[in-house]
Amino acid sequence: MTRVSTQIRCLLVVLAVSVFATATRGDVIPYSGAEVARNIAVFRIEDEGVRLELEIYPEDLAEFERAFQSRLASASLTTPAKFHQSSGEGLDSFRIVRADGKPLPFDLLTVERRQRIDRASPFAGMTDPLTGRPIPGPPENPDVVYLEVFYSFEGARPETLILSPPYAEDGAPAASIGFMVFDRSVPVSRFSFLKTDMQLTIDWTDPWFSAFTNPNLNRSAQDGTSSFLYVAPRELRHEILIRVRDLAPWIDQELTTGTKLDPAHQSQILAAALDELKDRNPMSISGEAIVPAAARGTFLTLGERGFQVVEGAPTLVTDTTFVGVILTYPISELPATASINWDMFDNAIQTVPVTLTDIAGPFFAWASPDEPVVTWTNHLKRYDDPKVAPVQAAGIFVMPVWAVLVVVLSAAAGVIALLSSRKLAIGIAALSMMSLFAGIAFSGKHTTPVLIPISGQSDTQIATGALSRLLTNTYVAALEVFPEERKKALEPIVFDASLTDVAAELETSLTIRVPGGGRAQITDVSDVVIVQGEMTGKGRFEGVVQWRVDARAGHWGHDHRRRVDYRARVEFRPDRGNWLLSAITVLEARSPDV
């Protein structure tokens, strides 16, 4: 495959993933509709043969009975029917054959009723932004007849196989079948429709390189090593996704096909990967070399639903396991340029696709031994660096109690002036001014205020507006990479005495995490509602509120989006013309989409 065609393929894949991978679950692959076809066939290539897992929609059972020459109809749903294709009694058209046309004999191991495996898109029923058509969902009936069939190599492993669907008498496919192929756990294909004969070449030394001759059937992820540069406020992130087998020579490991990785071995590999990768493929910002301030990593597996972050400590298979590494470079503002000098090349890593992502979208490049440096250049013309700003107490007028008394006294002077002599009025006015200057001279910021609405808004509207702006600024502070910087960023909107507590709540309860441990950036704060509590005449609010946030974060080439509903106890009040938080405690955080 040429570099140009590979770049086009990479572009289409990343665009599709960025559109569809927005659910609250882990990474998902784009949906074709084949994964929710009426019938599902999953082929698994093993050392001794091919295992077929077939889910048959009840209404299509007759089509498969004809394919199995009525053996399926006579087979008990609890007792497997065992027979061989080579005897002439087996499948007439649902076949797996060698390159010379010789069919593989098979055993029907299991026939039973089951529930369909849920492979539906979380967006089923919604409009596909690429096609404009509704995203398909599964059939209404969740019941299937499940078959497990084993096709034997009879001791001679083939280099090439041809998979054939069951055909009707007119030569058309007998039924709608979505299929996927795995070679020793590695997904060879993505979900597609099984419509015609398909030729598969098997690489017995490394299943990653097994492939169909029709490239449209092969999985989207073709590169064993990928690099991603994310340019975001306050940080650059260089993220690397590398197959464990590609990484092995660089960390003095010997891994072969089928090698199992227990938790202890995983810990050893991850520690070695972080130690190696934090010093490799150096980064420079505006021409100046820089070292990562932090490095973290995790394992991912490639399966039916694309890349999934490994949770817990399961035993992993080297053929489907990747190491994901995230290197963080803090910045105070977006630089003019940022460059990656990729220096890890060998027989397995010959070219590395690099995705450069900023707020304008992803851009694509390649690192190679001849051109190892890939550079992001700042072409953003309309970028406003997010900063925490004081939240003015707009719509109200806050006066100390003594000032209220002065106003009352001055008003009294005006009334008296109308009813008495000019000298008495002048004396009262002078007394009022003296009181005013004395109050200003001796008042402190702890003087008890009185809140006077001047915008026509109710107290509830004032409190809701103030809280919305405070929350928005709080999430801007969350962009800071280090805890101390986040605490400092909160100073314009939080009382000094409350900074430590509010910063801790921001880190533990208000920060939204995505797979891999990264922090999502809040894109919108909405639906702010006061559940309980009211604003006092002194401008102080204490009560229970709720709000919704939308967030997004990119990592390892995927665009993750989150929506979270919060319920919290909040306290804030005006101080010197601004609203300041004094406390926030999250009571509940949940995703409305789950």
DSSP 8-state class, residue 116: P
What percent of the chain has a predicted confidence (pLDDT) above 90? 52
**Burial code of 27-50, b = ≥16 C-beta within 10 A, e = fewer?**
bbbbbebbbbbbbbbbbbbeeebb
Q: CB–CB of 187/220 below 8 Å? A: no
CB atoms within 10 A of CB 500: 12
Longest CA pairwise span in the chain (Å): 127
Domains and CATH numbers, the chain: 31-217 (no CATH), 225-377 (no CATH), 396-453 (no CATH), 455-590 (3.10.450)
Quick one: pLDDT band at residue 22, thresholds 50, 70, 90?
very low
pLDDT at site 561: 79
pLDDT digits (tens, 9 = 90+) for 284-312: 999 999 999 999 999 999 988 888 889 88
Quick one: pLDDT band at residue 451, thresholds 50, 70, 90?
low
Select the more confidently predicted residue: 331 or 6.
331
CA distance 153 to 335: 59
Residue 579 has pLDDT above 60, yes or no: yes
Lowest mean pLDDT among 100-104, 335-339, 520-524: 520-524
Select the more confidently predicted residue: 521 or 259.
259
pLDDT at site 26: 36
pLDDT digits (tens, 9 = 90+) for 497-545: 999 999 999 988 888 877 666 778 888 899 999 999 888 777 889 999 9
CA distance 51 to 62: 22
Residue 413 has pLDDT above 90, yes or no: no
pLDDT at site 239: 95
- When the pLDDT of each residue in the chain is averaged and rounded to a whole number, the result is 81
Select the more confidently predicted residue: 310 or 397.
310
Closest-CA residue to 568 (of 540, 592, 552, 590): 590
pLDDT digits (tens, 9 = 90+) for 467-491: 999 999 999 998 888 888 889 999 9
**Burial code of 303-332, b = ≥16 C-beta within 10 A, e = fewer?**
ebbbbbbbeeeeebbbbbbbbbbbbbbebe
Query: Which are the contacts of 229, defined by CB distance < 8 A and separation ≥ 6?
Result: 236, 237, 238, 239, 338, 340, 354, 355, 356, 357, 374, 376
DSSP state letters, 128-148: PTTTSSBPP---S--EEEEEE
Quick one: pLDDT band at residue 20, thresholds 50, 70, 90?
very low
Residue 29 has pLDDT above 50, yes or no: no
pLDDT at site 539: 81
pLDDT digits (tens, 9 = 90+) for 540-576: 899 999 999 988 877 787 777 788 999 999 999 999 8
pLDDT digits (tens, 9 = 90+) for 30-55: 567 889 999 999 999 999 999 999 99
What percent of the chain has a predicted confidence (pLDDT) above 70? 77
In DSSP terms, which residues pair with 533 in a beta bridge? Answer: 543
pLDDT at site 424: 58
Residue 3 has pLDDT above 60, yes or no: no
Please give the structure tokens belonging to residue 392: 């003015």
pLDDT at site 63: 78
pLDDT at site 89: 40
pLDDT at site 460: 86
The CA–CA distances, whole Å, from 458 to 455, 461, 537, 543 equal 9, 5, 12, 16
pLDDT digits (tens, 9 = 90+) for 71-90: 555 545 544 444 334 333 44
pLDDT at site 483: 87
Quick one: pLDDT band at residue 462, thresholds 50, 70, 90?
confident
User: pTM of this prediction?
Assistant: 0.77
